Chain A
Amino acid sequence: MMIRNQLNRESEKDHFNGLAATWWDTQGSQRILHKMNLIRMDFINDTIKKNLKLNKDIVNDEEDEIFIPGWNFKGILPTEVSQNIQFEQTKKINEMYSNLKLDCLDIGCGGGILTESLARLPIVSKIKGIDLSPEVLKVAKQHMKLDPILSNKLEYELKAVEDLNESDMYDIVTMMEMLEHVDHPAIVLREALQHVKPGGYLFLSTINRDLISWFTTIFMGEYVLKIVPIGTHTYSKYINDFEIKEFAQEFKDEFKVIDSKGCIYLPLYGWKFTKSSGVGNYFLALQRKG
């Protein structure tokens, strides 16, 4: 309990309690967050697909094996051949993807924007969303009633990550736009990693502590354009992507940073991935070995 209070100052909790009413207002103040959820889902789906091991379970029968040249076949082989190889691979990947059955945990689930989206994916068999704000959890529980397919896949709990059973293990753990709201991100991240199954993923997104982030998220976002409510962000809590990567070195025998991508909000368009994860908002994916 002591740690929990230390992690989450009352002011943060109060702030999010206040946001509860507008959490699912996709046409109003939370639209930008709902828009961001679209590329969160893209990032998660893409990462999972990219890291499927095509011939993993095939031991004896070479007929079933998908040909992976291991070199730049698109540049060298005739177009028709390389298209065929590509087609075979994509087909197999989609087949493997659709057979997945994943158990998920969403830490800092808030009103359940990401949690509900993950729950609707056919590849997710169960998902638990946890958060520390009772008000937003109430909204999340209320909102899930609007879609009957959610009730047998999704549950919410008022809980801190360190209060989870040590034996609770998940294929996917997510912490989206969460680390920048806690006082000791390293502790929270370390706790979260303990619940990732071997071969499973931890997805997180947060904000680099740089001038651009301050300008876009706080100055423009909160004060000038008023896209998000004032007080949503605290600059000093932003975390640079290299800080997380350095931190991950501590676990390098067990975890690997498999992808990181920046993203930027373009008014009238929505969120877009950028090449640099070192500027502004970014996503990061870690995979546990095994």
Chain B
Amino acid sequence: MFRRLLSTAVKSTVPQTADVVIIGGGPAGLTLAAAIKNSPVLKNLNCKLIEGGNLIDPLESFHTTTPEDFMNRVVSLTPATISYLQEIKAWDYVKEERTETYDSIHAYDGVTGSKIEFDSPEIATMCENFNLQSALLQRIKDLNEVSESDLEIVEKTKVIEITTNEETNWPIVQLSNGDSIQTRLLVGCDGFNSPVRKFAGIESRGWSYDRWGIVATMKYKNDAFRYPTGWQRFLKSGPLAQLPLPNGWCSLVWSTTPELANILMKLPEDQFIAMVNAGAKLSPEEMGYLYDLAAKNDDTLIDEINWRLSLFNSKLKPEEESSYPLELESMVTNSRGRFPLRLSHADTYVDERIALVGDAAHTTHPLAGQGLNMGQADVKSLVHTLEVSAQRGLDIGTKFALEPYFSERYPENHVMLGIVDKIHKIYSTDSTPIVMARSFGVDVINNLPFLKDFMVSQISNK
């Protein structure tokens, strides 16, 4: 059963023919594959997924022998995303004991201390990428059991070249295993550097935020209990977010400048944990001093932080304690990683025989946790578009058939990218008038429940 997913060893020079070839086995590509096979209208399409890395074995072993530690690639899923995963029956396979749903986000300003609390039942659910991907693979295996035509996953195989069949204008994908496939529709779920987008000559516009996102899996002090809460402190260098995982664990996403990221990445793990605790509470001036110490490999860093934190804590009134996250005690060894942050948006998501989905079409700052969710909304829209077009007898690879997907998703993604970008810009300055204005704005918002509810509903797609 499991063998059926593996690529066949037969090599040939004559291109195979497919209806849909998906490039990329990330969450977007796997969701698209599962959704196509789950659709009563599209299930008989000849569909293949190409992935450069080793995909099936690691996902299978996650499913059968769950690792003890949490992995450092974690995403925030909105209720809309989860309900779509339920619709395509992939959510059944997600190990829910490894996910954490929280209903409150505390966002606070690192310069002025203004804060805003968003409360809403099930605002978001934290889930490891692998948990999601593994569930999708199980769902695809299910569907292959009952389908006339299997969805074939070709893994450990790179796309060498994409050419065009001169007679039919269908794209031909040349693979590193020697196969070539000509396809009615080529879908790029192949990330920011999308080879599919480049083949189609679609321009992607945007800018680098000149920031890195540092991630790590960390644990709060054992004796403390709190309801799962998301924490986000807007430091001038970028937001520091602690997002809850089960059993007192959390996922850290710290966006910061390349210089500070270098310092933080080089620190020994115990000093890194101390710096995160400092970042959650101390003032910009104190942080500046601590970064200097850290850059000099000063042994007194931990003592310095502990002293400053105890001073800070001693001044807190008891009722203020719950306004700050608990202190972190440990982290999963080697779970620290970093990635560059940028905003990008492709000029179009569709062309003749081409569709772009997820990061291939747009990337965003992680501060609102929207990147993956935008990709999931893309998948939903694309599958709906393909269903309607197929029912109307259109050739589903034509730009004419794909246009509704683009016109539905582009404006929504554009607005989301814009909102996130503005939040980043407003908080990455310490220019006095803007700081005063944003504190005032945040205080106003925090005291107007209906406005907050509106913002939450926008972010969680309710």
Residues on A facing B (Cβ under 8 Å): 26-27, 34, 37-38, 41-42, 45, 94, 116-122, 145-148
Contacts and interface: CB of A to CB of B under 8 A. Distances in A.
Given A94-B40, A119-B393, A26 B398 contact: yes
Contact of B17 (A38, A116, A118, A148): A148
B222 interface: no
Contacts of A34: 400
Interface string B383-408: 00000001111110011100000000
Contacts of A148: 17, 168
A94 B395 CA distance: 22
A166 B21 CA distance: 45
Given A145-B167, A146-B169, A41 B393 contact: yes
A27 B400 CA distance: 8
Interface of chain A: mostly helix, strand, loop or mixed: helix
Contacts, number: 39
A160 B392 CA distance: 27
Q: How large is the interface on B (under 10, 10 to 19, 20 to 34, 35 or more residues)?
A: 10 to 19
A98 to B, nearest CB: 8
B399 A117 contact: no
A38 B392 contact: yes
Select the residue from B44, B390, B399, B400 with max chain A CB neighbours within 10 A.
Answer: B400
A82 to B, nearest CB: 23
A168 to B, nearest CB: 22
Contacts of A146: 168-169, 395
Nearest to A148: B17
27 contacts: A26-B398, A26-B399, A26-B400, A27-B399, A34-B400, A37-B392, A38-B394, A41-B391, A41-B392, A41-B393, A42-B392, A45-B391, A45-B392, A94-B40, A116-B393, A118-B393, A120-B390, A120-B393, A120-B394, A121-B393, A145-B167, A145-B168, A146-B169, A146-B395, A147-B168, A148-B17, A148-B168
A41 B388 CA distance: 11
Given A145-B167, A146-B168, A148-B17, A117 B393 contact: yes
B347 to A, nearest CB: 15
Given A34-B400, A145-B167, A117 B392 contact: yes
Interface string B10-30: 000000010000000000000
Contacts of B168: 145-148
B403 to A, nearest CB: 9
A140 to B, nearest CB: 14
Contacts of A122: 44
Contacts of A27: 399-400
B353 to A, nearest CB: 10
Nearest to B388: A38
A106 to B, nearest CB: 12
Interface in B266-294: none
Contacts of B399: 26-27
Contacts of A145: 167-168
Nearest to B396: A120
Contacts of B169: 146
A266 to B, nearest CB: 14
